[in-house]
Amino acid sequence: MASPLLLDLKNVNKIFGQNHVLKDINLQIEKGKFITFLGPSGCGKTTLLRSIAGFYTIDSGDIFIAGNRVNELPPYKRGTPMVFQEYALFPHMTVFNNVAYGLDIQKRPEDEIQERVSAALAKVKLTGLEERYPHEMSGGQQQRVAMARALVMNSPIILLDEPLSNLDAKLREEVRVELRTIQQELGLTVIYVTHDQLEALSMSDEIVVFNKGVIDQHGTPHEIYYKPRTQYVADFIGTTNFIPVEVVRIEGSRITVKYGKAGRTVTVESDLSLKIGEQIMLSVRPESLRINEQANEHDFVIQAYVSHSTFLGEKERYFAVDKDTADWVPQWIIDAYDIGATRYRGSIQISAAPDKLHLINK
**Using CA atoms, how far apart are residues 130 and 285, in angstroms rounded to an integer?**
49
Is 46 a binding residue for ligand ATP by CB under 6 A? The answer is yes
Provide Rg for the chain, Cα atoms: 25
Q: How far is the CB of 11 from ligand ATP (least distance, A)?
A: 18
Backbone angles phi, psi at 42, to 5 degrees: 85, 5
Helix (H) or strand (E) holding 72: none
Q: How far is the CB of 185 from ligand ATP (least distance, A)?
A: 28
Q: Which is nearer to ligand ATP, 204 or 241 (CB)?
A: 204
Which residues are at the interface with Mg ion (CB under 5 A)?
A: 46
Interface positions, 188-227, toward ligand ATP (CB under 6 A): 195
57 contact choice in ligand ATP, Mg ion, none (CB below 5 to 8 Å, kind-dependent): none
80 contact choice in Mg ion, ligand ATP, none (CB below 5 to 8 Å, kind-dependent): none
Q: Which is nearer to ligand ATP, 21 or 266 (CB)?
A: 21
- Percentages helix, strand, coil for the chain (3-state, rounded to 5) are 25, 35, 40
H helix intervals, 137-291: 139-151, 169-186, 197-203, 221-226, 231-236
Member of 7, 25, 43, 203 binding ligand ATP (CB under 6 A): 43
**Under a CB-based contact definition with an 8 Å cutoff, are residues 123 and 148 in contact?**
yes
Residue 269: left if φ>0, alpha if ψ -120 to 50, beta else—which one? beta
**Under a CB-based contact definition with an 8 Å cutoff, are residues 51 and 78 in contact?**
no
Q: Which is nearer to Mg ion, 194 or 217 (CB)?
A: 194
Interface positions, 2-21, toward ligand ATP (CB under 6 A): 16, 19, 21
Q: Which is nearer to ligand ATP, 46 or 141 (CB)?
A: 46
44 contact choice in ligand ATP, Mg ion, none (CB below 5 to 8 Å, kind-dependent): ligand ATP
How far is CA 16 from each of CA 20, 42, 56, 199, 214, rounded to the nearest angstrom? 6, 13, 10, 29, 15
Q: How far is the CB of 230 from ligand ATP (least distance, A)?
A: 18
41 contact choice in ligand ATP, Mg ion, none (CB below 5 to 8 Å, kind-dependent): ligand ATP
DSSP type of residue 296: P
Contacts with ligand ATP by CB under 6 A lie at: 16, 19, 21, 39, 41-47, 195
